[in-house]
Amino acid sequence: MNRRDIIKLVLLALVLVLAVVLVNRIDFAQNTAETDLVRDAVRNAAVTCYAVEGAYPDSVEYLREHYHLAYDESRYFVTYEAFASNRIPDIYVTERGAVLPS
Protein backbone atom coordinates (compact mmCIF):
# COMPACT_ATOMS: atom_id res chain seq x y z
CA MET A 1 0.00 0.00 0.00
CA ASN A 2 1.47 3.31 -1.02
CA ARG A 3 1.02 6.75 0.45
CA ARG A 4 -1.76 7.72 -2.00
CA ASP A 5 -3.85 4.69 -1.03
CA ILE A 6 -3.48 5.53 2.65
CA ILE A 7 -4.58 9.12 2.03
CA LYS A 8 -7.62 7.88 0.06
CA LEU A 9 -8.59 5.53 2.89
CA VAL A 10 -8.24 8.28 5.50
CA LEU A 11 -10.36 10.66 3.40
CA LEU A 12 -12.99 7.96 2.87
CA ALA A 13 -13.11 7.26 6.61
CA LEU A 14 -13.45 10.98 7.31
CA VAL A 15 -16.34 11.32 4.84
CA LEU A 16 -18.09 8.32 6.43
CA VAL A 17 -17.70 9.75 9.93
CA LEU A 18 -19.05 13.12 8.80
CA ALA A 19 -22.02 11.40 7.12
CA VAL A 20 -22.89 9.55 10.33
CA VAL A 21 -22.63 12.75 12.38
CA LEU A 22 -24.89 14.63 9.95
CA VAL A 23 -27.51 11.87 9.94
CA ASN A 24 -27.55 11.88 13.76
CA ARG A 25 -27.97 15.67 13.86
CA ILE A 26 -30.81 15.57 11.34
CA ASP A 27 -32.54 12.80 13.32
CA PHE A 28 -32.18 14.77 16.56
CA ALA A 29 -33.57 17.93 14.95
CA GLN A 30 -36.54 16.04 13.55
CA ASN A 31 -37.32 14.44 16.92
CA THR A 32 -37.06 17.82 18.64
CA ALA A 33 -39.45 19.36 16.11
CA GLU A 34 -41.97 16.55 16.60
CA THR A 35 -41.77 16.91 20.38
CA ASP A 36 -42.39 20.65 20.00
CA LEU A 37 -45.47 19.92 17.87
CA VAL A 38 -46.93 17.68 20.57
CA ARG A 39 -46.25 20.30 23.26
CA ASP A 40 -47.86 23.00 21.10
CA ALA A 41 -50.92 20.79 20.47
CA VAL A 42 -51.40 20.25 24.23
CA ARG A 43 -50.93 23.96 24.93
CA ASN A 44 -53.36 24.98 22.15
CA ALA A 45 -55.99 22.57 23.46
CA ALA A 46 -55.56 23.98 26.99
CA VAL A 47 -55.86 27.56 25.74
CA THR A 48 -58.95 26.64 23.72
CA CYS A 49 -60.47 25.09 26.85
CA TYR A 50 -59.72 28.28 28.79
CA ALA A 51 -61.32 30.42 26.09
CA VAL A 52 -64.44 28.25 25.98
CA GLU A 53 -64.87 27.34 29.65
CA GLY A 54 -63.03 30.13 31.48
CA ALA A 55 -60.59 27.76 33.21
CA TYR A 56 -57.66 25.60 32.30
CA PRO A 57 -58.37 21.88 32.61
CA ASP A 58 -56.90 19.73 35.38
CA SER A 59 -55.50 17.04 33.10
CA VAL A 60 -54.50 15.98 29.62
CA GLU A 61 -57.23 13.33 29.82
CA TYR A 62 -59.83 16.10 29.96
CA LEU A 63 -58.34 17.64 26.82
CA ARG A 64 -58.37 14.28 25.04
CA GLU A 65 -61.97 13.63 26.03
CA HIS A 66 -63.50 17.07 25.44
CA TYR A 67 -61.17 18.77 22.94
CA HIS A 68 -60.08 15.78 20.86
CA LEU A 69 -56.40 16.17 21.68
CA ALA A 70 -54.51 13.30 20.09
CA TYR A 71 -50.86 12.29 20.06
CA ASP A 72 -48.95 9.02 19.99
CA GLU A 73 -48.96 8.03 23.66
CA SER A 74 -46.67 5.10 22.96
CA ARG A 75 -44.04 7.52 21.65
CA TYR A 76 -44.44 10.62 23.83
CA PHE A 77 -44.75 11.16 27.57
CA VAL A 78 -46.64 14.36 28.48
CA THR A 79 -46.33 15.94 31.91
CA TYR A 80 -49.17 18.38 32.53
CA GLU A 81 -48.94 20.33 35.78
CA ALA A 82 -52.03 22.41 36.46
CA PHE A 83 -51.76 24.50 39.62
CA ALA A 84 -54.59 27.05 39.23
CA SER A 85 -57.59 27.25 36.93
CA ASN A 86 -56.59 30.72 35.75
CA ARG A 87 -52.88 30.00 35.08
CA ILE A 88 -51.63 28.12 32.05
CA PRO A 89 -50.29 24.74 33.13
CA ASP A 90 -46.66 23.71 32.82
CA ILE A 91 -46.44 21.29 29.90
CA TYR A 92 -43.44 19.06 29.28
CA VAL A 93 -43.14 16.53 26.48
CA THR A 94 -40.43 13.92 26.18
CA GLU A 95 -40.02 11.13 23.73
CA ARG A 96 -40.26 7.76 25.46
CA GLY A 97 -36.86 6.15 25.61
CA ALA A 98 -35.07 9.45 25.02
CA VAL A 99 -31.96 10.13 27.01
CA LEU A 100 -32.38 13.39 28.88
CA PRO A 101 -29.42 15.74 29.23
CA SER A 102 -28.04 16.00 32.74
Distances (CA, A) of 39 to 24, 79, 94: 23, 10, 9
CA triplet 5, 9, 13: central angle to 5 degrees?
Answer: 170
Nearest residue to 42 (alpha-carbon basis) of 13, 71, 20, 17: 71
Q: Going residue by residue through the chain (102 aa), what tens digit of pLDDT does each one get? A: 788 888 888 888 888 888 887 877 777 766 678 899 999 999 999 999 999 999 999 999 999 999 999 999 999 999 999 988 899 999 999 988 766 555
pTM above 0.85, yes or no: no
Average pLDDT, the chain: 87
The pLDDT of residue 101: 53
Distance CA 48, CA 63 (A): 10
The pLDDT of residue 67: 95
Per DSSP, helices labelled H in 1-102 are 3-53, 60-67
Distances (CA, A) of 85 to 26, 44, 89: 39, 16, 9
Instruction: Tally Cβ neighbours within 10 Å of residue 42.
Output: 24
